[in-house]
Structure 1
């Protein structure tokens, strides 16, 4: 992936932080197999699954928390979908104008290779849009978006996206480590 360029200092630093996160995450995804991608470490893991039409879709978006019940365990495929489609693609869709049709956010590739490629594409759409803002627009209220987000800055959105990437990227790394050592 080519790093989007930004000349304004805050925008440049945000893009550099995303590049560092991308490099770490995609390094951890290198060589991901289909078996790892879809591995369900516990019964009832959330994942993506093929429907009757053969198209893979996310089984459940974000389940409602139930008091006293831990959140469900998710697969690597679900986490890659969550970062790419739900977060990065969703942010482009909801917070930028003149967005091209990016497809059904619930559909996701059923293979590791295609899933990582889809994540890279969503990553590029998001970081290219952020890089094009420049510092003045990055620090101004967005003016678009659901709920109270229209009053927030693109910087806040970008930092939120970075937290999501770091959080779920770390979980992907742990799931890979557990998968590789499950017979140890």
Structure 2
């Protein structure tokens, strides 16, 4: 996407910010081991685990939190799944017309390398759809989708995706730092 010429200024600017976030996120995702990908720094950590069929699935879709307890801690694998599958892939599925065949959406790669590759593919699917909209469509109501999204703009959707990627991407970076220093 970095070499794409986009004449519409809003679309161009949002894609430029996505590219900066992608560069930072994937820079932090260089070289994790499978052990790091699944590392559970606390006992009640939420991750992705193999089922009886050997396929990996997220253990808890939306971790519950309460005012009396801290938010749950999730693994790097869960956070990569959250950005890629739940957010970017989910947005493509529910808010765009041309949806790729994702197969069983509940299944997520059990290895770090494959999980990062799946995130990269989900990122590209989402970004290519945002890029194709152009400013007029980016700023108009979506017109479809669950939970009130029909009345929102694709720009708001893109900004929400950026919020999720930066929020969870920062947490991935912190988890990587902590993992590398565990026991030091």
- Into which bin does the TM-score normalised by the smaller protein fall? over 0.9
- TM-superposed CA distance for 1:4, in Å, is 7.2
Mapped pair 1:160 → 2:174: no
Q: TM-score, normalised by structure 1?
A: 0.96
Partner residue, 1:85 = 85
Q: Does the CA-based 8 Å contact 1:4-1:131 persist in structure 2?
A: no
Partner residue, 2:176 = 176
Matches within 5 A, 1:2-151: 2-3=1-2, 5=4, 6-151=6-151
**Structure 1 alignment gaps of length 5 or more:** none
1:62 and 1:36, CA in 2 relative to 1: closer, same or farther beyond 3 A? same
| Structure 2 CA distance for aligned equivalents of residues 154 and 7 of structure 1 | 18
Q: TM-score, normalised by structure 2?
A: 0.96
Matched residue SS, 2:148: helix
- TM-superposed CA distance for 1:103, in Å, is 2.5
| Structure 2 CA distance for aligned equivalents of residues 160 and 172 of structure 1 | 18
- TM-superposed CA distance for 1:71, in Å, is 1.6
Q: Does the CA-based 8 Å contact 2:65-2:72 persist in structure 1?
A: no
| Worse-superposed segment, 70-79 or 97-106 | 97-106
- TM-superposed CA distance for 1:177, in Å, is 0.2
Q: Does the CA-based 8 Å contact 2:38-2:77 persist in structure 1?
A: yes
Q: Does the CA-based 8 Å contact 1:65-1:71 persist in structure 2?
A: yes
The two structures, once aligned, show a CA RMSD in angstroms of 1.2
| Structure 2 CA distance for aligned equivalents of residues 65 and 183 of structure 1 | 29
| Structure 2 CA distance for aligned equivalents of residues 4 and 172 of structure 1 | 27
- TM-superposed CA distance for 1:63, in Å, is 2.1
| Structure 1 CA distance for aligned equivalents of residues 3 and 63 of structure 2 | 34
Number of aligned residues: 183
